[in-house]
């Protein structure tokens, strides 16, 4: 595993590229182009890392944790400015601009509209591409081909894969595309999309790196049931004979403030198929590592300690022992140039501290989990961790400070300060404490930085705004001077 070249570094958590907004590329949200603008700003402000949620294709579902393949990229992030232009493409863009201009609330992303617009752009340039070229299947990982065939079949049948005709329930992509010309053409379109998107992501990652900035991308622990991951690898998931989910994912910790949650993703057979599961996760990490050499392992507690399986029918759940540090050991050996961060935030995290220390894996700390000593004692945060103000699942730091009573504020300040500090000043002092802590990586969310108090996502709660917030101002209008001074004074300057 790579060592941190710079021992004290700053991280900006954007939650998702969809949240970004810049003046030069405003087609409704999501463009990779926004990351060029942000990379320049981060370099000037001394942010070494830009953290984001998964970037896999999640189709029309705005949740980045509902990807339909770990070997895919989301078309919604297509950079329209970097594709070949033609009259047809210009007409598609003009039509979308007219439609988008009529939207009243542009701080909420029209996710489905933008997704369909980007796919239409890709379909238009694919029409010209296929007149002169053919898709080279050998360029692609077999799992990416599975994804493309899966997308083609979903387009045709609009059903969960376990309800498809029996001849398509088994993921033999060579047999499928050789016997169905319609599916083959759609498969080649989705492969073309992935080729374009991967090239664009590699290009922006290279640009960011040239500025001394690196992307941190989340690796979700589970895929959804109705995904290419499950369809093409049925033996490593808990499924019924008809392919439906036997167990689904979730968590149930009585001390968790979010309570019992049913996430509904498919669950790996960690115990029964440990080697096969680890092998599959390794391959998905290899796909992600093409873009990011810093990967955050989501829900690491379930990898090491126990994972929660919920009966898909009764919704009753139980805990099953996980695989200890076996996955960490394999990943570190397989990817010596990748820095892994373990998302271990929660009330039951003590049991995974030892394996994290054993493999020198940074864990995570946030004062928002202040009921546990390890999170509220910011001055005692270990060097080998990522300390942060808030993430995509949390309220903003300012809103959290508003919720604290005087006694709770005394975890962080003197009695006199706890009585005096209002939410704004409290939040500012917490930011300073985090960045001046011993943690090798200190992070702030872009929402906290610009004062956007809206909730990006609330676990276990479905609403029309989850995952779809967009900045209320342009990146170019954000004042980074104050956080730059904090970064500098805390010794994280480069």
Contact 243, 162 (CB under 8 A): yes
CA atoms within 13 A on the CB side of 160: 10
Question: Which tens digits make up the pLDDT trace of 131-177?
Answer: 888 899 999 999 999 999 999 999 999 999 999 999 999 999 999 99
**457 vs 258: CA distance, rounded Å:** 12
In a domain, 2, yes or no: no
In a domain, 377, yes or no: yes
Q: How confident is the model at residue 347 (pLDDT cuts 50, 70, 90)?
A: low
In a domain, 4, yes or no: no
Among residues 141, 99, 108, the alpha carbon closest in space to that of 228 is found at 141
pLDDT at 258: 59
Tell me: pLDDT of 1 over 80.
Answer: no
pLDDT at 272: 92
Contact 92, 120 (CB under 8 A): yes
In a domain, 29, yes or no: yes
pLDDT at 299: 84
* 220 φ, ψ (degrees, to nearest 5): -65, 150
Parent domain of 364:
9-489
**Percentage of the chain with pLDDT > 70?**
95
**CA-only gyration radius of the chain, Å:** 23
**How remote is the C-alpha of 116 from its chain's centroid?**
21
Among residues 162, 217, 283, 227, the alpha carbon closest in space to that of 17 is found at 217
What CATH number corresponds to the domain at position 269? 3.20.20.80
Q: Name the range with the highest mean pLDDT among 267-271, 296-300, 424-428.
A: 424-428
**297 vs 391: CA distance, rounded Å:** 14
CA atoms within 13 A on the CB side of 92: 19
**Percentage of the chain with pLDDT > 90?**
76
In a domain, 448, yes or no: yes
Question: Which tens digits make up the pLDDT trace of 356-394?
Answer: 888 888 999 999 988 888 899 999 999 999 999 999 999
The number of residues making up the chain comes to 494
Q: Provide the number of structural domains found in the chain.
A: 1
> By 3-state DSSP, what share of the chain in percent is helix, strand and coil, each rounded to 5?
45, 15, 40
* DSSP-assigned letter for residue 75: G
Q: What is the 3-state secondary structure (H, E, C) of 312-379?
A: CCCCCEEEEECCCCHHHHHHHHHCCCCEEEECCCCCCCHHHHHHHHHCCCCEEECHHHCCCHHHHCHH
**364 vs 439: CA distance, rounded Å:** 9
Tokens encoding 472? 């209320």
Q: What is the mean pLDDT of residues 5-20?
A: 90
pLDDT at 2: 47
Q: How confident is the model at residue 305 (pLDDT cuts 50, 70, 90)?
A: confident
CB atoms within 10 A of CB 295: 21
pLDDT at 493: 84
Residue at token pair 């003590």:
350
Treating both helix axes as pointing N-terminal to C-terminal, what angle do 481-489 and 33-45 enclose, rounded to 10 degrees?
50
The whole-chain average pLDDT of the chain stands at 92
CB atoms within 10 A of CB 23: 10
Q: How confident is the model at residue 104 (pLDDT cuts 50, 70, 90)?
A: confident
Among residues 394, 385, 336, 294, the alpha carbon closest in space to that of 48 is found at 294
Tell me: pLDDT of 263 over 90.
Answer: no
């Amino acid at each position: 595993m790579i060592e941190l070249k710079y021992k004290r570094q700053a991280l900006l958590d954007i939650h998702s590229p969809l949240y970004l907004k810049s003046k030069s590329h405003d087609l409704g949200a999501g463009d990779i182009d926004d990351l060029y603008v942000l990379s320049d700003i981060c370099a000037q402000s001394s942010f070494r890392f830009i953290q984001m949620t998964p970037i896999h294709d999640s189709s029309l579902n705005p949740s980045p944790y509902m990807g339909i393949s770990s070997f895919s990229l989301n078309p919604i992030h297509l950079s329209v400015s970097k594709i070949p232009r033609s009259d047809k493409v210009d007409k598609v863009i003009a039509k979308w601009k007219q439609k988008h201009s009529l939207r009243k609330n542009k701080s909420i992303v029209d996710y489905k509209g933008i997704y369909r617009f980007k796919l239409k752009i890709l379909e238009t340039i694919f029409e010209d591409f296929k007149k002169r070229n053919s898709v080279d299947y050998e360029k692609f990982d077999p799992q990416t081909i599975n994804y493309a065939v899966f997308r083609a079949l979903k387009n045709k049948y609009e059903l969960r894969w376990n309800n498809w005709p029996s001849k398509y329930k088994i993921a033999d992509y060579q047999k499928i595309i050789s016997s169905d010309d319609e599916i083959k053409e759609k498969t080649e379109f989705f492969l073309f999309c992935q080729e374009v998107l991967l090239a664009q992501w590699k290009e922006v990652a290279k640009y960011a790196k040239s500025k001394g900035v690196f992307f941190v991308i989340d690796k979700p622990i589970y895929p959804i049931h109705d995904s290419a991951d499950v369809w093409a690898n049925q033996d490593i998931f808990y499924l019924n004979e008809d392919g439906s989910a036997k167990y689904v994912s979730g968590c149930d910790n009585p001390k968790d403030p979010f309570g019992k949650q049913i996430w509904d993703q498919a669950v790996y057979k960690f115990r029964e198929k440990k080697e096969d599961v680890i092998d599959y996760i390794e391959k998905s990490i290899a796909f992600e590592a093409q873009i990011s050499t810093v990967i955050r392992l989501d829900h690491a507690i379930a990898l090491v300690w126990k994972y929660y399986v919920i009966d898909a029918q009764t919704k009753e759940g139980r805990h099953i022992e996980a695989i200890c540090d076996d996955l960490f050991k394999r990943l570190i050996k397989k990817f010596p140039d990748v820095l892994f961060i373990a998302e271990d935030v929660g009330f039951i995290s003590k049991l995974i501290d030892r394996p994290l220390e054993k493999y020198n894996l940074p864990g995570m700390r946030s004062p928002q989990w202040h009921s546990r000593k390890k999170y509220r004692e910011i001055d005692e945060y270990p060097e080998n961790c990522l300390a942060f103000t808030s993430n995509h699942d949390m309220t903003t730091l300012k809103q959290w400070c508003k919720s604290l009573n005087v006694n709770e504020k005394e975890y962080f300040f003197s009695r006199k300060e706890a009585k005096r500090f209002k939410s704004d000043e409290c939040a500012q002092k917490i930011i300073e404490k985090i960045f001046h802590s011993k943690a090798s990586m200190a992070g702030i969310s872009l929402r906290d930085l610009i004062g956007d108090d809206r909730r990006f996502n609330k676990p276990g709660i479905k609403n029309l705004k989850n995952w779809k917030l967009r900045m209320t101002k342009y990146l170019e209008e954000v004042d980074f001077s104050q956080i730059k001074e904090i970064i500098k004074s805390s010794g994280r300057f480069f």
